[in-house]
Structure 1
Amino acid sequence: MATVLVVEDQRAQREMIVSLLEQDGLRVMAAGDGDEALDLVRGGQIPDLVVMDVVMPRMNGYQLVRQLRDYPQTSQVPVLMCSSKGETFDKHWGLKQGADAYIVKPFEPQDLLGTVRHLLRTPRG
């Protein structure tokens, strides 16, 4: 069973994403911001995929994905950015920073699940 780390500062949004992923048969860890997410992975809890927001306090998603790419244990873990920042530049910048996919909020549950399934099946690198 794959493990997904959800990094989202908005509690309701985080709980909704966690619920969707768990209903799809995935094991889920959750973090309220980038610092908490880094604490988890540096503590040895390495996910198979990270789903993250972009706009978060203390450390935004762009900063977090760069940190994950620089950390040897997570350098190849796929990252899905999920954000209300939906301009073409936002998507381009997220992918340039190291994300593997980018979906815009609000999203359809099937779009999130389909992207998660695709990223878990696709070898990175």
Structure 2
Amino acid sequence: MAHILVVEDSNTEAKILTECLQKSGFNVLSVTTAEAAKAVLAKQNFDAILLDVVLPGQSGFGLCRELKKQEKTAEIPIIICSSKSENFDKNWGLKQGASAYICKPINREEIISTLKKLIR
């Protein structure tokens, strides 16, 4: 069973994502900040990360870029899930190292199929 880290500052969005993933058989841990994500990633391994862009403190774009530069986390697929839906945002997210960019509101099938493609 794959382990997924959800980095989402909205409790409602985090709950929706967590329930969606758990119903599809994934183990899920949810945190609300980039700092909390870094602390968890230092202690645990994950098969993928679902990452919001707008977070308190460091943005999801900045966290993605940072994680892709670190040996321990560089190979973890990152899926950005954001309400920022402009092509500029999508392209920027992919340039930061994200494996995929999914716009909110989330589509359960899209998230699950994207995760299944990216997780080895």
Can you list the C-alpha shifts for 1:23-68, whole angstroms capped at 9, x where unaligned? 11111111111110001011x2121100010011101110110111
Other structure's SS at 1:113 match? helix
Size of the aligned set, in residue pairs, is 120
**Aligned-pair identity (%):** 38
Segments ≥4 residues shifted beyond 6 Å:
none
- Deviation of the 1:113 alpha carbon: 1.2
SS class of match (1:72): coil
Instruction: State which drifts further: 10-19 or 67-76.
Output: 67-76
Structure 1 residues not aligned, in runs of 5+:
none
Q: In the alignment, what sits opposite 2:109?
A: 110
Distance 2:107 2:50 in 1: 15
Partner residue of 1:3? 3
The residue that corresponds to 2:53 in the other structure is 54
The Cα shift of 1:22 comes to: 0.7
**Residue identity in the other structure for 2:39:** D
- Root-mean-square deviation (CA, aligned residues, Å) is 0.9
Amino acid across the alignment from 2:6: V
Alpha-carbon distance in structure 2 between the residues aligned to 1:23 and 1:55: 26
Matched letter for residue 2 of structure 1: A
Aligned to 1:99, what secondary structure does the other structure show? coil
Counterpart residue number, 2:85? 86
Q: Which runs of 5+ in 2 are unaligned?
A: none
SS at match of 1:47: coil
